[in-house]
């Protein structure tokens, strides 16, 4: 699994969903908000927006 960080998590989430990418729901945790997705080759990614 590869982890990515972004300040625009909602925008990225909407973009991936619009492209038909399988994504998990956005979750809120103590550290921030995150979701996961799978690329066409089956690789898993985690996207995080850290709370500041």
Residue-wise pLDDT for 1-51, tens only, equals 789 999 999 999 999 999 999 999 999 999 999 999 999 999 999 999 999
pLDDT value at residue 52: 77
- Number of domains composing the chain: 1
Question: What's the rounded Cα separation, in Å, for the pair 52 and 37?
Answer: 24
pTM: 0.88
Q: Give the distance from CA 52 to its chain's centroid.
A: 18
pLDDT value at residue 1: 79
Supply the CATH number for residue 33's domain. 3.10.180.10
pLDDT value at residue 49: 96
SS3 category, 16: helix
- Both tokens of 29, joined, read 């945790």
**Dihedral angle, C-alpha 18, 41, 4, 50, nearest 10 °:** 60
Q: Which residue has the tokens 């990515």?
A: 4
Please give the residue range of the domain that contains residue 25.
2-50
Contact between residue 24 and residue 36 where contact means Cβ atoms under 8 Å apart: yes
């Amino acid at each position: 699994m590869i982890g990515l960080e972004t300040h625009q998590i909602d925008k990225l989430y909407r973009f991936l969903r619009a492209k038909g990418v399988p994504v998990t729901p956005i979750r809120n945790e103590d550290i921030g908000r995150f979701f996961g997705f799978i690329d066409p080759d089956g690789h898993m990614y985690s996207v995080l927006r850290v709370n500041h």
